[in-house]
Amino acid sequence: MLRDTFKHKGKRLQLAAIVEGKGVKDKKVLEAIKTIPRHLFMDSSFEDHAYQDKAFPIAADQTISQPYTVAYQTELLEIKKGDSVLEIGTGSGYQTAVLCELGAKVYSIERQQELFKKTKIFLSKLGYRPKFLSFGDGYKGLPQYAPFDKIIVTAGAPFVPKALLAQLKVGGRLVIPVGENVQVMTLYVRTSEKGFDKKEFGDFRFVPLLEDKN
């Protein structure tokens, strides 16, 4: 069932070249794209499209992010081996796998139970070992594992959740797409206990970061 072939591998090299052509320079990030079998993270009906630089539907009305977007966000995080990284929005687990490939200790939260269960099993089948996959509300972060070196939000946030800023180490980086219909990729660097530097990058489109209704 989990079949990866030379043909898939060849398509991944092309995909990495496309992502590089769009401006991503981080070699380790590009290497992760070349390595991770993205087609296995998608429903079989979309498998043929797995190595296009596009977002696609996954279960529970959610999407697997566009590879360029994954690469762009990951590059902004400046992951170093051993960094503890909190991801909001596990989804298909593709971004989780990228972070694992970079040697991060990954903690990830997903609010859709169906996706949480499916992805947890799937990632372990593929051999990825995130530190902790959590079913819950990303707006709250994971206080029991905080502070984090890096935090990445993979859904469109209407505002920046205070809990996430609070759970960042001094010197740490939070990458979050902020906005309602269109999101501005935003980087916060924590400069001191109370200080944050904010930088804005381009426009992106994500599924919404939903507040927990349970």
Contacts with ligand SAH, residue ranges (CB under 6 A): 62-65, 88-89, 91-92, 94-95, 109-112, 115, 137-139, 154-155, 207, 209-210
* Cα(70)–Cα(48) distance, integer angstroms: 19
| Shortest distance in whole angstroms from residue 209 CB to ligand SAH | 4
Q: What is the CA radius of gyration of the chain?
A: 16
Output the smallest distance, CB 3 to ligand SAH, in A.
20
Contact present, 29 and 104 (Cβ < 8 Å): no
Task: Judge contact between 117 and 89, C-beta under 8 A.
Answer: no
Phi first, then psi: give them for residue 167, nearest 5 degrees.
-95, 10
Selecting among 44, 45, 65, 84, the annotated active-site residue is: 65
Cβ–Cβ contacts within 10 Å for residue 174, how many? 26
Min separation Cβ 192 and ligand SAH, Å: 28
CA separation, residue 213 to residues 32, 136, 210 (Å):
35, 11, 8
> Which two three-digit tokens encode residue 91?
């989804």
Residue 6 or 165: which CB sits closer to ligand SAH?
165
Measured from the CB atom, the residue of 171 and 202 that comes closer to ligand SAH is: 202
In which element (H, E) is residue 84 found? strand 84-88
Report the residue number, 154 or 183, with the smaller CB distance to ligand SAH.
Answer: 154
Task: State the nearest-atom distance from the C-beta of 134 to ligand SAH, in Å.
Answer: 9
| Residue closer to ligand SAH (CB basis): 89 or 172 | 89
44 flagged as catalytic: no
- Show which residues are catalytic: 65
